[in-house]
Amino acid sequence: MTIHREGYLIILISALILGGIQVGNYFLYKWLGWLWLFLLLTLGVLVMMYLVVQFFRIPKRTVKFEGNDISCPADGKVVVIEEIEETEYFKDKRIQISIFMSPLNVHANYNPISGIVKYVKYHPGLFLVAWHPKSSTDNERTTMVTEHANGKEVLFRQIAGAVARRICYYIQPNQTVTTGEEFGFIKFGSRIDVILPLDAKINVKIGDKVKGRITKLGELT
């Protein structure tokens, strides 16, 4: 396991703040002499530091997918599988799979397919809770589309939530990408939508716990 580069500064700032709190806790203990309070606050500091560090963890995972497989782009829970009218890029009917990422999940995002990046657009917006029906169209988000070698295109969208306040993405149009390769990161809870052709085979169902680079969402046919 490693720590994601997006976490270095936040972890340092958190360590300084929590370290200051612990110093204050020590002097409070020397003044009041309440050992139980000192231990309780120390535990709280340690738990908070652990939560910050674990949020930016990147576990080592082996990517094994066939040519037409659609890899899960993020850790989380499948909360939506439905037919929609996609209005930003395709402007036709598609299948949407939405994955909710809690603050306890790994928050790196991975390319669902290999191919050529055709479209990347960042949209400023609101910060509705990630499971809100309008979060896909009203929240701050980044939309990306990759064209597979077979000509099929897959759209995937990073969506900020009520807590997530920064979306990071690292790919650009005309770039060649590989299944399971990292394309971005979302800080502190969020959602990923994957928009597939209607004839795509779906391998997951609502409520499934999924893992980026490991779970197979489906196949392009």
Q: Match 């009203």 to its residue by tokens.
A: 138
Mean pLDDT lowest for which of 113-117, 123-127, 213-217? 123-127
The pLDDT score that the predictor gives to residue 147 is 97
- Residues 53, 85, single domain; the answer is no
The model scores a pTM over 0.95: no
Question: Domain check: are 130 and 74 in the same one?
Answer: yes
Residue 54, in any domain of the structure: yes
Does the structure show a pLDDT above 70 at 130?
Answer: no
Instruction: Assess whether 128 and 205 both reside in one domain.
Output: yes
Residue-level pLDDT at 132:
54
Residue range(s) defining the domain that contains residue 6:
2-58
Count CB-CB contacts under 10 A for residue 217: 25
Residue 134 confidence (pLDDT) above 70? no
Q: Residues 48, 108: one domain?
A: no
Q: What is the dihedral of CA 129, 134, 135, 137, to 10 degrees?
A: -160
Q: Are residues 181 and 82 in the same domain?
A: yes
Rounded to whole angstroms, the Cα distance separating 202 from 138 reads: 26
Whether residue 64 is contained in a domain is answered as no
Q: How many domains does the chain have?
A: 2
Residues 45 and 129 in one domain: no
Whether residues 78 and 47 share a domain: the answer is no
Task: Indicate the pLDDT class of residue 17, thresholds 50, 70 and 90.
Answer: very high
Q: Active-site residue numbers?
A: 190
Checking if the pLDDT of 120 tops 90, the result is: yes
- Whether residue 59 is predicted with pLDDT greater than 80 in this model: the reply is yes
